[in-house]
Structure 1
Amino acid sequence: MTYVTPSPLPLQTFRDEELSFAERVDDLLPRLTLDERLALLHQFAPAVERLGIGAFRTGQEALHGVAWMGPATVFPQALGLGATWNEDLVRRVGEAVATEARAMRTRDDRVGLNVWAPTVNLLRNPLWGRNEEGYSEDPHLTSATAVAYTRGLRGDHPVYWRTAPVLKHWLAHNNETARDTSSASVRPRVLHEYDLRAFRGAVEAGTVAGVMPAYNLVNGRPNHVSPYLREHLRRWSDEELLVCSDAGAPSNLTDSEKYFDTHEEALAAALIAGVDSFTDHGTDSAPTTARLRGALEQGLISETDIDTAVRRQLHVRFRLGEFDSGLDPYADISLRDFDTPAHRALAREAAEQAIVLLKNDGVLPLAEGTRIAVVGLLADTCKSDWYSGTLIRTSTPLDGLRERFGAAYVSYAEGADRIRLKCRAGWLHVPPGPGEPGPGAADHESVGGQESASARESAGALDPALLTGRTDLPPLTVGTEPTDFDLVDWGDGVLTLRAPDGRYLSVADDGFVRASADRPGGWVVQETFGLERHGDGFLLKHIGTGGYVSVATEGLKVAAPAEMAAMAEMAEVFELTVVERGEDAVARAATGADVVLVVAGNDPHINGRETEDRTTLALPPHQERLWRAARSVQPRTVLALVSSYPYAVREAEAQLPALLWTAHGGQAAGSALARVLAGDVSPGGRLPQTWYAGDDALPDLLDYDIIGSRQTYQYAEDPPLYAFGHGLGYSAFRYEDLTAGILDGTRLTVGVTVTNTGPVAADEVAQIYTRAVDPPVVRPARQLAAHRRVHLLPGEARRLEFQLDIEELGFWDVAHERWTVAPGAYEVMAGASSRDIRRTATVRIEGAPAAARPVRESGLAAVGYDEQYGTEIVDRSRTAGDSVTPAGGETGAGEGAGSGAGVEAGVAAAGELLYRHCDFGPGVDAVTIEAAGAGSVQIMGGPLLTVPPTGGPYAYTSRTAGFTAAGVRDLRLRLRGTVRLHRLTFHPSGTAPSAPNPRGSTR
């Protein structure tokens, strides 16, 4: 192909600040050569020096502070921000984070202003490894929190943006297990009523620059080529929204997902679908630009497609003031705006507001002079996570309580098991490093596991590569002198080992085991091990590599991948000697205390994180032992859970007088917890997701049908351990005078008076839920519609008024493929949680009920079912459309045969679909199905339509059979094999494409 060199237009035009951004982009775009425009499509866009345009990078992590770029103010995890139920606070946190991004950029131009935050994926299943990154399981709360955070990130200037936020991860992403190859089956009602709502609010509010597609597939199609980007996202805004790929996802389209045969096809499809920036191969843009050029040369894309994406990127850069430093209101932000006293105070305020009091039988708040034993694996640590910045300062629970109550009143024991390991050659031993004292110099009881600089910084902030331990310290040796190690069992067979000086055992690239890490961390954690029973001893397995520990001449070593088979046989067998159980240390510390505070929870890098889902809601047995040991000595034991996700703690709830929960609270976590325990602050956080009583209450991790499998607080029928919205305080509140009415037929107005009837000033989170009384389809038992966090003095009453769009009462009508508000009665409920409803009112929506499905005139889309069993939704084609197939049938072979998950060997996969209230009018006498694959479609009470192998999943054929029906009736289908059903068409008498066989056979 040929390309015409850009004409020499005046250079000053696109810098003319009197013109609109659109006009300036129109001027700049044709100045760029094809090579320059292609280069702009990679995450790391180079400078265009001849035009005076600087380099630009999409993607600066900023989930709860500026991440990966060194020291920054660290706020509570996103889940904790969601637990505040306070949009004003979250907005202020967003402002602080964006201000620090601007400030940090003045000293390091790698700090980007296109921030990838927040994560708005709904916390449907609490076993999701990235639970800490989301705000809530509820779309209203998630959307409201996202609007607040992105408003802070964006700023309030009408033209220029402080930063340009991108929402993660589009769409229906809630599992790490096979996250780049698994498909979420999302029926239309769940899509419109649940998943899309989490994104739509911030987009319509104009506070986001765009979105990032998720790794997974939805309905059989990768999110990076999703038609929903154009069908939904881009229809919500007139702005030029930017879509940035997730890291490595463009290559996944061909490599792991095998959705396309070539990378050129894959990138072309993604570009046409709406991806504007490709995050792939780290800082090396060459593979991406070569693939895009190949796609252009093959005619898979046009220069117009390239220009469309470049235009969207340029709009973001203009909004950020890149070309208008004189007008950019944020251009004067400097390092004086970094780590300010105001930001520190805000971090503590956010940490305080995120704390949720789950239970209190009167033991809290703690009085002055109370002797407190602070124990537990998280009692003296301030944890960070994968998306944290480097902590400038830390406050652990022990720090906070000693500061608040005085060191003389606070004792401490961590509760790690102290052990020794011995093999044939002798005891495992940690040699001193150069110029260091020998092991044992540190006071074992005072080791607190303090966090230090992020391990990611040592690997380069922009490259999430494998992180390994230090190599400047000597490896562990074997000899006559034993070292006492702290062993912490995090559950699921995962443990960490720590030397007496507080350093964790870690494995570096050379395979040697050293006591070298300040904390567990890294993309692949090198500090976790497992003990495997072997005869009378144990094999010590390094989880990061899968290799076993053996004794080499130079010291303790783990097999390299190529050596693993041989090294497994050479692995050392260790004898484990327990010097002291953690529960004994806890019991000793609890003796003489008036109250014991057990601080339990998770390390965000272990057992539940990006790439790794949890397997259970249970608290790890090690931590169960600790709270039980504390209670056995002192019944006044309080359990504080500091975690990235909920736990099922039924026995603790039954036996302990008080429980609290907080997400990891950032740099001020300890002081915040201490102030709440002391009563300086009445806890006002509320649960942003359901705490289930046990694993048996959870659906399958990959089951995204919250309606059919009754998920989240909206549909769950069994009582939870702690309900969505639950949270206690040190005061009490009365709800009165609930009013609800319809205004102008478009607005639902709600008012309620809340009074603080208790003895202290406190926050209350008033929650408004709605429920359709007699809905035409399955609807939520309760659905959050509004909320407000208010601070009330003792005896103070406040009237709270809410106005809601009447559309919020609606649902997606699959029968007519539209959003609808059904006429009838609706309950409006006001209360303190989804299960603590204090007042109820009823409103009525007038109107005619929806008509039955017009199947005689419009046919029937297979995906528009009301109920299903044993099916999943798949892609009709690579670009658009949905079909339905038996779950597990995709791996089947041959006509009518299938095998796969949940399918008995040799038995065809089968599923059922139910469509209610189908209107066949005066009658039909034939039906045609559009289907691919191989198998059959049985209309219950009607014909069996056999689909011979069609030659591929996208090779659709039509099959017709006689079928007689009239009037309104339900229609039930049974699918078998690998058949992919897209649509049914019903034929009035004499209109079938061929005369039906009276026996109902297909033609």
Structure 2
Amino acid sequence: MTAQTPPFRDSQLPFAKRIDDLLSRLTVAERIALLHQFAPAVERLGVAAFRTGQEALHGVAWMGPATVFPQAVGLGATWNDDLVRRVGEAVSAEVRAMRARDDRVGLNVWAPTVNLLRHPLWGRNEEGYSEDPGLTSAIATAYTRGLRGDHPAYWRTAPVLKHWLAHNNETNRDTTSSSVRPRVLHEYDLRAFRETVEAGAVAGVMPAYNLVNGRPNHVSPYLREHLRTWTDQELLVCSDAGAPSNLVDSEHYFDTHEEATAAALIAGVDSFTDHGTDSSKIVARLQGALEAGLLSEADIDAAVRRQLTVRFRLGEFDARLDPYAALRDFDTPGHRALAQEAAEQAIVLLKNDGLLPLTGSPGGGPRVAVVGLLADECKLDWYSGTLIHRSTPLEGLYERFGAERVDFAEGVDRVRLKTSAGTYLSVPPADDTTGGARGAEGALDPALLAGRTDLPPLTTDATGTDLALIDWGEGVLTLRAPDGRYLSVADDGYVRASADQPGGWVVQETFRLEPHDSHAGGHLLKHVGTGRYVSVAAEGVKVAAENAEEAEGAEDAEGAEDAEGAEDAEGAEGAEAPEIFELIVTEPGEDAVTRAAATADVVLVFAGNDPHINGRETEDRTTLRLPAHQERLLRAARAANPNTALVLVSAYPYAVDHANLPAVLWTAHGGQAAGTALARVLAGDVSPAGRLPQTWYASDADLPDLLDYDVIGGRQTYLYFEGTPLFPFGHGLSYASFAYSGLEAVPGEGKVKVTFTVINTSEVAADEVAQLYTRAVNPSVPRPRRELAAHRRVRLAPGASTELTFELPLSTFEFWDVAHGRWRLEPGAYDVLVGASSEDIRLRGTIELDGAPAAPRPVLGHGLNAADFDEQSRAEIVDRTKVSGDAVAPVDGGEAELVFRRCDFGPATTTVTVVAAGEGSVELALPDGPVLARLEIPATAGPYDYTTVDAPCHAAEVHDLHIRLRGPLRLARVGFSG
């Protein structure tokens, strides 16, 4: 170091001192500018520009070709921490390699998603690992360790966990509030984040769009009260895109953007992702907040310090010392092999009555009919990279058994769309510059991109084109030309055959056929992406009218003699009237499936979802059922051939009737090697060992409301669900068989040591996933039916055995004691359960643990926080203030009841004090007994203006207490004094 070199460039100094020095050299304006996602360079100091946020959920996303691994829910289904760590290593290596070629690629990666898969209809189910917080945190910790690397000072990438907190709905996701009571908060939602953060491989978190207990996550006090207490390292909190503006624009939580931005920064947000690359609005808001005294320079410095900490860890200021600076591993043979290994390990065999595996060798074995919409697809989702290699199930089976032994029937309806003029929709042929839907070796043809305007639009003629109508359920369909091109709508409004697959933030390849009453058999064709109807114009087919009302108006005018009326009806923007089509089915999909199935030895029906349609980010599902068209195909195959297996390729659980099916498999969309992996498992080259990371429910009737976040009160997930699932959490079969023996569970100092043996009793080498659960035998409060405490995936040769040992800390058996606001180990008996799933328990043992016995709530002098109830009905938790604290309100201002168990009122209680806002009443009563007190709450100036009301209360000793709320009030606290 020379005398002119500033200390922040001195690699011999600790990062903290270097950051102090750099901070001191930055002006206030420069510091503020660093707080936007796209931080500009500080050229006078030689500091480069920096971008937070690179999507890397299951491979590098949005930046072009990259290795594509199975979806996150598929990685969760592997139950293999070591595998997922290796996937993280590969992904981060490709981030580094791509960064070397393109400086738009960022090293601060926004992955993984650790939101729990509480509800299977959540649109982003594909992004999470499991409904269980322990399994989620184990897989997330493995992935983040892989992303970070193992160097003590420098990180390969800096992972940020998504999305803090209690986020499981896309419906109105920026305005809905998750009501999360303390036990659920501590035992469920926080746990997935906490254990991963405590493992030390996380750079930070991203708050979610939603509110929790009435307060937006971007101003959550939990960032300070919980997140930052779990580790000594600085954690970077990156806002979700547009969320800072939502605080005012959609949530109306603050009156001004300056106030909202200041509140978010003070709460703990360090990087503002808003208005794309334009940082000017956020910078102006922060500057305005500083000038108005809503922020201090110290607040700004704290956020900048966290940003700089990440940048130093990534080696930005020590290029010569950064061990990952020269990393160029990209699309290596090792990465390709790992993608296939991950895809194989993610496959779950749900049912098998002996149909599988399919025996035979290439060129021999059974004749297989491969049918269904997912049979020849390798689907990508919103967070996938661009495929370099691809393998569909059909291609994998061709390779494994030989094309001559595999018959394929996609099962889509072949249709023509006839216009009111008697002509038909026609797709212009692709010329030599556009080619087909696939290029050489199956690679995606870059010429076929949705949004192109240089291709000819659809026309009409006397014969038309047979289109494949692919029905994805809920009335949503795609239309595909014979050469594989999907119909798509570009910005100019014309309909073209121009897309290789449906995709994009707004999907432009989906349509709806809506019956039109005034024409027998007539339909309007509505484009979902624009919400407009398809019309036929002289220059080509395009979208026209804005809405159905315009369509009706246009049709009414078609027969009008008034030219002016007809002109008005021709639609918005001068477009022709929406066309009324007659749908002519030239071949039903079931016919092709029946023909293929009838001559086969075995039928494989591939069903599932397209990750861009009917369930994705911004869109929740509405049902667990398969789309009706896919159910028809399954029935047709089964009717033609009883040896029919269902292979579900999906991002979600489904409720399927499998009573007459001899075999069922499931895999998430498995990335680039999905087809090869499925073929190897179906053929028996690999014994399946994936396990379900979430409960598969038998019907929609088993599901709670999507917005019911109380997993305890709502009896949700395998932890509390009391019904019979279709397939339970942890379920998965094998081609091998395993036995368990020798369970020993020995309590010790601060832990319980559990040992047992697993034996492969078959002649097939295979993996087994041993699962260890615990259960409180006689709990004083509702506890899980059983709870995953540990797991391990092991590979065993035929006849081999292995002894597994787990050391469970006593905290494994604790619960959040809401009566006293702390974790507590309750003394008594606990079951230790070992087996192959949450319902397939092979070994049982019971241990006795010492702990702190239950004590009554000391309400005299301590009072009751309203949110610390044991049970509730028709109540929701809301924000006590905009900064911190909880209150409870009746849903929609009606009536609600809270139950507090075993309240110790002391020898004599004479006064009750209620702190509440709003107008209504609060009534205190004993169970099935007298009313202790009834307090009328006067109207207050606003929801955060609390008033205190006193009343006599005659109670003594220990009783359950019922508090009944009526009216639009917020109850914060009830106090008792003698």
Same fold, judged at TM 0.5 (above): yes
SS of the aligned residue for 2:273 comes to coil
Aligned-partner Cα distance in 2 for 1:153–1:429: 50
SS of 2:847 mapped into structure 1: strand
Is this contact kept in 1: 2:439–2:445, CA < 8 A? no
Partner of 1:339: 331
The CA deviation string for residues 650-686 of structure 1, in whole angstroms up to 9 with x for no partner, is x2x1011000000000000000000001111000000
1:471 to 453, 456, 465: 453
SS in 2 for 1:253: helix
Partner of 1:906: none
* 44 and 981 in structure 1: CA distance in 2 versus 1, 3 angstrom threshold: same
5 Å-filtered alignment, 1:170-181, equals: 170-181=164-175
Secondary structure, counterpart of 1:289 in structure 2: helix
Partner residue of 1:802? 806
Counterparts of 1:453 and 1:152 in 2: how far apart (Å)? 32
Which deviations, in whole Å up to 9, do the C-alpha atoms of 1:397-447 show, x marking residues without a partner? Answer: 001001111111111111110001111123333342573599xx989xx99
Match of 1:511 in 2: 493
Deviation of the 1:469 alpha carbon? 2.2
What is the alpha-carbon distance in structure 2 between the residues aligned to residue 126 and residue 668 of structure 1?
25
- The one-letter code sitting in structure 2 at the alignment partner of 1:398 is L
What percent of counterpart residues are identical?
70
| Counterpart selection for 1:412 from 391, 402, 408 | 408
Q: How does 1:320-335 map to 2 (within 5 A)?
A: 320-334=314-328
- Does the Cα contact within 8 Å between 2:418 and 2:425 map onto a contact in 1? no
Matched, 1:742 2:747: yes
The within-5 A match list for 1:366-445 is 366-368=358-360, 369-432=365-428, 435=431
Three-state SS of the structure 2 residue aligned to 1:928 is strand
Q: Does 1:860 align with 2:864?
A: yes
Equivalence for 1:951: 941
Shift of residue 887 of structure 1?
A: 1.1
Q: 2:898 aligns with which of 913, 922, 925?
A: 913
Retained in 2: the 8 A contact 1:390–1:453?
A: no
Unpaired runs of at least 5, structure 1: 1-7, 459-467, 890-908, 989-1003
CA distance in 1, matches of 2:153, 2:552: 63
State the secondary structure of the residue aligned to 1:807. Answer: helix
Letter in 2 for 1:818: R
1:583 aligns to what? 590
2:936 counterpart SS class:
strand
Distance in 2 between the 1:479 and 1:596 partners? 39
How far did 1:859 drift? 0.6
Indicate yes or no: 2:971 matched with 1:987: no
Match status 1:282 vs 2:276: yes
1:186 pairs with one of 168, 180, 191:
180
Q: 1:759 Cα deviation (Å)?
A: 1.8
5+ residue gaps, structure 2: 555-576, 926-930
Is the contact between residue 506 and residue 527 of structure 1 (CA under 8 Å) also seen in structure 2?
yes
Residue by residue over 1:877-912, the C-alpha shift from the partner in whole angstroms, topping out at 9 and shown as x without a partner, is 0000000001122xxxxxxxxxxxxxxxxxxx1111
Distance 1:635 1:153, change over 3 A: same
Alignment partner, residue 607 of structure 2:
600
Shift of residue 10, structure 1, vs aligned partner: 5.2
Task: Trace 1:572-971 onto structure 2 (pairs within 5 A).
Answer: 572-649=579-656, 651=657, 653-744=658-749, 746-889=750-893, 909-940=894-925, 941-971=931-961
What is the distance in 1 between the residues matched to 2:833 and 2:882? Answer: 44
What's the counterpart of residue 263 of structure 1?
Answer: 257
Distance 1:754 1:340, change over 3 A: same
| Structure 1 CA distance for aligned equivalents of residues 579 and 254 of structure 2 | 46
Report the secondary structure of 1:829's partner residue. strand
Q: Equivalent residue for 2:511?
A: 529
Helix, strand or coil for the counterpart of 2:98?
helix
CA distance in 2, matches of 1:442, 1:753: 55
CA contact (8 A) 2:427 2:464 kept: no
| TM-aligned CA deviation for residue 362 of structure 1 | 0.4
* TM-fit CA distance, 1:946: 1.2
The amino acid of 1:973's aligned partner reads: I
Which of 562-571 and 582-591 deviates more?
Answer: 562-571
Q: CA deviation at 1:743?
A: 1.4
Cα deviation, residue 742, structure 1: 1.2
User: What's 2:528 paired with?
Assistant: 543
Question: What's the secondary structure of 2:829's corresponding residue?
Answer: strand
Paired residue for 2:161, among 160, 164, 167? Answer: 167
Query: Structure 1 residue 452: deviation in Å?
Result: 3.1
- Shift of the 781–453 alpha-carbon distance from structure 1 to 2, 3 Å rule, reads farther
Note the C-alpha offset of 1:956: 0.4
Give me the whole-angstrom Cα distance separating, in 2, the residues matched to 1:449 and 1:517.
18
CA distance in 2, matches of 1:246, 1:263: 16
User: Offset at 1:857?
Assistant: 2.1
**1:331, distance to aligned residue in structure 2 (A):** 1.0
Work out the CA distance in 2 between the residues paired with 1:10 and 1:609. Answer: 54
1:245-289 C-alpha deviation (Å, 9 max, x unpaired): 000000000000000000000000000000000000000000000
Q: What does 1:459-498 align with in structure 2 at a 5 Å threshold? A: 469-498=451-480
Match of 2:17 in 1: 23
CA displacement, residues 359-411 of structure 1 (integer Å, 9 cap, x when unaligned): 00001000111111111001001000000000001000001001111111111
| Change in 2 beyond 3 A, CA 1:450/1:634 | farther
The structure-2 alpha-carbon separation of the partners of 1:753 and 1:856, relative to structure 1 and needing over 3 Å to count, comes to: same
Give the secondary-structure state (helix, strand or coil) at the position aligned to 1:426. coil
Q: Which residue of 2 aligns with 1:94?
A: 88
Which of 201, 204, 221 in structure 1 is aligned with 2:198?
204
The whole-number CA distance in structure 2 between the counterparts of 1:430 and 1:296 is: 61
Q: Label 1:434 to 1:863 Cα distance change in 2 as closer, same or farther (>3 A).
A: closer
Aligned-pair CA distance for 1:761: 0.7
| 1:489 positional shift | 0.8
The residue type paired with residue 352 of structure 1 is E
Aligned counterparts of 1:87 and 1:33: Cα–Cα separation in 2:
45
* Alignment partner of 1:349 is 2:353: no
Q: Does the residue aligned with 2:659 lie in a helix, a strand or coil?
A: helix
| Cα-to-partner distance string for 1:761-785 (whole Å, 9 max, x where unaligned) | 1111000000000111000000000
1:565-599 C-alpha deviation (Å, 9 max, x unpaired)? 36863322111110001111111112221101111
Other-structure match for 2:561: none
Q: SS of the residue aligned with 1:313?
A: helix
**Preserved CA contact (<8 Å) 1:447 1:501:** no
Q: Displacement of 1:481 after TM fit?
A: 1.9
Whether the 8 Å CA contact 1:547–1:568 is kept in 2: the answer is no
Deviation at 1:847, TM superposition (A): 3.6
Amino acid at match of 1:519: Q
Find the aligned partners of 1:360 and 1:433 in 2 and give their Cα distance. Answer: 45
SS in 2 for 1:169: strand
Question: Counterparts of 1:9 and 1:279 in 2: how far apart (Å)?
Answer: 38
Check the 8 A contact 1:85/1:686 in 2, yes or no: yes
Residue 749 of structure 1 aligns to a residue in which SS? strand
Q: Does residue 225 of structure 1 match 2:249?
A: no
Report the equivalent of 1:994: none
CA-to-aligned-CA distance 1:5-48 (integer Å, 9 cap, x gap): xxx99543111111100010011101111111111000001111
Which residue, 224, 228, 242 being the options, matches 1:248? Answer: 242
- Deviation of 1:449 after TM superposition, in Å, equals 14
Q: Is the 8 A contact 2:932 2:955 kept in 1?
A: no
User: What's the secondary structure of 1:331's corresponding residue?
Assistant: coil
CA contact (8 A) 2:177 2:213 kept: yes
Query: Is the 1:225–1:273 Cα contact (8 Å) retained in structure 2?
Result: yes
Deviations 1:819-865 (A, max 9, x none): 11111110010010001111111111124412110000211000000
Q: Contact 1:548/1:567 (CA < 8 Å) preserved in 2?
A: no
